[in-house]
Amino acid sequence: MYIKRTLEDVISRTAKQFPVLLVTGARQVGKTTLLSYLSGKDRKFASLDDPLILTLAKDDPALFMQKYSPPVLIDEIQYAPGLLPYIKMAVDRDRQNGMFWLTGSQQFHMMKGVSESLAGRVGVLNLLGLSRRELCGSGVEAGPFIPEPDKTRTRLESINMLDLYSLYRMIWRGSYPTVATDEQVDWHIFYDSYLQTYLQRDIRDLARVGSETSFVRFLKATAARTGQMLNMTDLARDADVAVNTAKSWLSILQASGVIFLLEPYFSNATKRLVKTPKLYFLDTGLCSYLTEWSSPETLEAGALSGAILETWIFSELLKSFLHNGLRAPFYYYRDKDKKEIDLLIVKDGTIYPLEFKKTGSPSRQAISKFEVLQKFKMPIGPGGLICLVQDTFPLTEQHQAIPVSAL
C-alpha cells in the first residue's frame, strides 16, 4: 500500500525547474518508492544496489549512460560518483528539466561530487521517515508547523487525537514505512536487520571502522543522548573511542540522516549563549531499539520516556518543514545561567518559542523562560508548550498549551 508523501508536490515542482533532481535521506525512508511512484512510463530505472548495474556504472560509465539514457531514475547514486561528470555532460548537451532523478543515502560521500559537477543543475530535497500526518492521510494540507493559535486549531480539527498508549506505540515503532505501516512486521527483527545491513554496511565501512563492536557501542551511546546537549568528551568516553573518532563517526551519522544536530541561537546582542548543539535521533524506533526498550509500555515508563517524546516532537516539526521543501529555521536557546528553551522557530524575523514536556497538567512556569528572549530585540511570536493535553488552552496572553496531536 502506497502512502502519499507530503514531498510529492515539491518533487513535481522541482523536477520542472532543474535537469537533475536529487532526493537524499536515510536508508528505508521511502526515497525509491516515492520517486518510482511519481515516475512516468518512459522513465528508466537503474538501482546501484544491483551488483551488475553497479559494475557497469563504475567500469564503463559511458556505456551505462547509453543503456540508461534520460529520463532515468538512478537509485543510490553515491555508489558510483563517477557517473556525475557524465550526467553533467548529458545535461549540458540537452538542457531539459527532469532528465535525471537521483536518490542517495549517503550525503557525506556524494555531496561534494554533486556540488562540483552539478552546481546550478540540481535541485536537492531531503526525505525523512513517515510523519504522523502522512500516516493519517493528511500530510499535504497541514503545511509547516508555526504555533499560531488559528493554525494550531485547524491542525487539531484535521486529525484524530492521540492517547498515551497510541502515542508511545507510534514512537516505539518508528517512522520507517516498512515497520510503521504494518503491525505484522516484527519490530525486533526489522531493526536488527536495519542495524546489520544498513548502518554497519554503509556507514561503518565508509567510516573505516576497525571494530564492529566499537561502532555499535558508539551508536548505542549516541542514542542514549537523544534530546541532550552534545558533550563529545563524555560520548567518546562512554563509547570507549578517541574524541576525534567520535567526531568523525558523529558527522557521518549526521550527514546520512540518522541524527540531527540542533544549533543554539546566537546573536551579537548577547555573548552569554553556549555554542554546543543538541543531538536528536531522527527515527525514534531505531533510537528505542539501540537503547534496548523492548515494548511501548517499558519505553513510556522508563528513564528515556521524556527524552524520546521530545525527540519525536522535534522530528515531527522537522518533517513539517523538510517535507514541504523548506529549510527548517530551528534553534534552541541556552545561556550560561542554564536557562533553556527547547526550540526557537525563527521565521521572517520573528521568534516562535516552544517547550516540550511529558505532562498533561502544564503551568505558566513551564514557559517562564520565554521572557529572556526580549534581549534579542526581535518580535516574539506566539509559542507555547507542546505536551499531553487534549486541547489547546492559554498559558499567557500570547502563549498556549499545545497538544501533541496538533503535530
What residue segments make up the domains of the chain, in order of their start? 8-126, 132-406
Has this prediction a pTM greater than 0.85? yes
**Which of 323, 289, 165 lies closest to 219, judged by CA?**
289
Please report the DSSP string for 174-228 in residue order.
Answer: -S-HHHHS-TTS-HHHHHHHHIIIIIIIIIIHHTT-S-HHHHHHHHHHHHTTTTE
Q: Is the pLDDT of residue 206 over 70?
A: no
Which among 177, 172, 218 is positioned nearest to 195, based on CA atoms?
Answer: 218
Q: What is the pLDDT of residues 289-329, one digit of tens each?
A: 999 999 999 999 999 999 999 999 999 999 999 999 999 99
CA atoms within a 13 Å half-sphere pointing along the CA-CB vector of 386? 29
Number of alpha helices (DSSP H) and beta strands (DSSP E) in the chain? 19, 14
Q: Do strands 259-262 and 278-281 pair parallel, antiparallel, or not at all (unpaired)?
A: antiparallel
> Element (H or E) spanning 36, and its range?
helix 31-38
Closest C-alpha to 11, from 124, 112, 91, 92: 124
- Could you tell me which residues are beta bridge partners of residue 21? 101, 123
- pLDDT reported for residue 269: 47
The whole-angstrom separation of Cα 47 and Cα 79 is 10
pLDDT at 62 over 90: yes
What SS3 class is residue 344? strand
The correct answer on CATH 3.40.50.300 for the domain covering 8-126 is yes
Taking the C-alpha atoms of residue 48 and residue 80, their distance in angstroms, rounded to an integer, is: 8
The string of pLDDT tens digits covering residues 333-375 is: 998 888 899 999 999 999 999 999 999 999 999 999 999 998 8
CA angle 104, 105, 109 (to 5 degrees): 85
- C-alpha cell of residue 18: 532543474
| Tens digit of each residue's pLDDT (9 = 90 or more) over 209-250 | 666 788 889 999 999 999 999 999 999 999 999 999 999 889
pLDDT at residue 273 above 80? no
Strand spans (E) along 283-377: 330-334, 340-347, 350-356
Contact 351, 344 (CB under 8 A): yes
Element holding 46 (H helix, E strand): strand 44-47
For 46-82, b where at least 16 C-beta lie within 10 A, e where not — what string? Answer: bebeeeebbebbeeebeebbeebebbbbbbbbbbbbe
Q: Fill in the DSSP letter of residue 50.
A: S
Q: Which helix (H) or strand (E) holds 281?
A: strand 278-281
317-320: long-range contacts at Cβ-Cβ below 8 A with a sequence spacing of 24 or more? 317/145, 317/343, 317/345, 317/354, 317/407, 318/128, 318/260, 318/282, 319/6, 319/128, 319/129, 319/131, 320/131, 320/133, 320/142, 320/143, 320/144, 320/145, 320/407
Percent of the chain residues topping a pLDDT of 70: 93
Q: Which grid coordinates belong to 252?
A: 557521518
Stretch 275-302: mean pLDDT: 96
Instruction: Give residue 5's pLDDT band: very low, low, confident or very high (50, 70, 90).
Output: very high
All three cell numbers of 289, joined, read: 531499539
Q: Are 64 and 56 in contact (CB under 8 A)?
A: yes
